[in-house]
Amino acid sequence: MKIKRVASAIIGIGFLLFSCQAIQASEVPKYELGESCSSEYDAAKPKDIYCYVNEVGLYEKKLKNSSGSDVPAGTPITILKGGDGKEFRVSDIALDKKISGLTKENIPKDKFGFVLIGDGDSGCIGGSFSGDTQIRCNWIENFDTRAYKKGQILYLGEKGRITTTRQGNVVTVGQVELVAKSSPDNATLNIGRVPNIEIRTWERYLSEGENCAFLSEEQISPDLVCVEGDEILAPKNPKKSVGDNVYEKTGISLDSTAWFPLITLFLIIIGIFAFITDSKNGIALRMLQTLFYLSVFLLVCAALVALFINIVEPLFSNNTVDFSRKVLGIPTYFYFLPIIFSIILRNNRK
């Protein structure tokens, strides 16, 4: 019995530990900004992030020294095809048609160290294109060029040495860009082309209203579009306001300048309703009458302004009278109605 209990306890503890690890694993965010990503479709992916593919140049790499001896900094090297491209040897003029780069530091035998990548092409022009591929050159600063002349081409010599003399098998190392000592501030030698590699990382889409002048199509959310001229992000299918829907169906524009006359018209209707009621007393009736008179007064004032702007002023200025002009978003002739309405009310009272 004791053995069974102990075994059960061990199994229970193991299951608990496994469950905790599973929970911790599930808590690890799957989509971390800046982390490596995949462009495969995943319904669980948040809509505000995307897999950004950026083409960059491979300017340096950490490789293992498999040459059989220590290699000093500034030595031309060739990356071995075996070892998954993670090993190098010293370049050999009898074996190589071009170099793979120069050692950035002293790298002991069978140890890893940084290598500056470049094919030694002395005519490399950075920023140019070969088909759809951008050409990138590697200008290095940790190479002392005081023994050379500006513009001089350097070649691979015997046993991986660098020389200014063309050998029988011409293998270039690079071209002197600046005569100076090794310094982080001076790019002294152009060691040729570097390979282009793709870096895929999770990035977040910019929001509506942000600048999109330098964004590529893949960097813009499918729901947004870059507005030409303004260069800002706007909704691809913007939601229509109530006013836009009313205008499409009726032709009536409910812009912000039209709300005041519409509200006033509504108050007039309330006032008319108050006048046709049988009751002649009460607070509600008096309030409605007050609103009615106030609305009529405001519209009469607006009408006088409209008359002056659209009729009186154009007549005295020898300009054309245009009754289609609008005041507060409403055609001028609309404002003549309350004046006529107020005249009718006065006549009825008499």
39 has a pLDDT exceeding 70: yes
Count CB-CB contacts under 10 A for residue 116. 25
89, 165: one domain: yes
Average pLDDT over residues 10-38: 59
Per the DSSP assignment, residues forming a β-bridge with 331 are 326
189, 91: one domain: yes
71, 191: one domain: yes
162, 177: one domain: yes
Q: What is the pLDDT of residue 42?
A: 79
223, 272: one domain: no
Q: What is the pLDDT of residue 157?
A: 93
Q: What is the pLDDT of residue 228?
A: 86
Q: Which CATH number goes with the domain that contains 146? A: 2.40.300
144 has a pLDDT exceeding 70: yes
Q: Between 342 and 107, where is the model more confident?
A: 107
Q: What is the pLDDT of residue 153?
A: 96
Q: Give the C-alpha separation, 98 to 121, whole Å.
A: 8
262, 288: one domain: yes
171, 250: one domain: no
104, 128: one domain: yes
Among residues of the chain, what percentage have pLDDT more than 90?
Answer: 33
Q: What is the pLDDT of residue 341?
A: 64
> For strand 60-65 and strand 87-90, is the pairing parallel, antiparallel, or unpaired?
parallel
59, 185: one domain: yes
Write down the residue that tokens 């152009």 correspond to. Answer: 190
Give a yes or no: residue 4 inside a domain.
no
Q: What is the pLDDT of residue 335?
A: 61
Q: Which of 216, 235, 254 is the last residue of a domain?
A: 235
Give a yes or no: residue 45 inside a domain.
no
Give a yes or no: residue 8 inside a domain.
no
Burial profile 206-215: b = 16 or more Cβ within 10 angstroms, e = fewer? beeeeebeeb
224, 289: one domain: no
Give a yes or no: residue 42 inside a domain.
no
pLDDT digits (tens, 9 = 90+) for 259-313: 556 666 666 666 666 655 545 556 666 676 677 677 767 767 766 766 676 667 7
Do residues 72 and 59 lie in contact, with contact meaning Cβ atoms separated by under 8 Å? no
Domain encompassing residue 146? 55-199
Among residues of the chain, what percentage have pLDDT more than 70?
Answer: 63
170, 219: one domain: no
Q: What is the pLDDT of residue 6?
A: 46
Residue 215 phi/psi, 5-degree rounding, is -95, 145
Number of domains in the chain: 3
Q: Which of 179, 199, 219 is the last residue of a domain?
A: 199
100 has a pLDDT exceeding 90: yes
Q: Which of 311, 309, 326, 306 is nearest to 256 (CA)?
A: 326
Among 139-143, 179-183, 225-229, 269-273, the minimum mean pLDDT is found in 269-273
Mean pLDDT of the chain: 78
Residues in the chain: 350
Give a yes or no: residue 168 inside a domain.
yes
Q: What is the pLDDT of residue 176?
A: 95
Does residue 270 sit in helix, strand or coil? helix
Average pLDDT over residues 96-102: 95
**Token code pair at residue 148:** 């050379």
Average pLDDT over residues 103-111: 95
Q: What is the pLDDT of residue 279?
A: 53
190, 69: one domain: yes
Q: Which of 120, 122, 125, 145 is nearest to 135 (CA)?
A: 125
Q: Between 216 and 108, where is the model more confident?
A: 108
Q: Between 96 and 277, where is the model more confident?
A: 96
112 has a pLDDT exceeding 90: yes
Give a yes or no: residue 36 inside a domain.
no
Average pLDDT over residues 79-108: 92
**pLDDT band for position 244 (cuts 50, 70, 90):** low
Give a yes or no: residue 46 inside a domain.
no
Average pLDDT over residues 55-74: 94
Average pLDDT over residues 73-78: 95
Residue 146 burial (10 A CB sphere; 0-12, 13-18, 19+): exposed
Give a yes or no: residue 190 inside a domain.
yes
Count CB-CB contacts under 10 A for residue 99. 27
Residue 223 phi/psi, 5-degree rounding, is -90, -5
**pLDDT band for position 25 (cuts 50, 70, 90):** very low
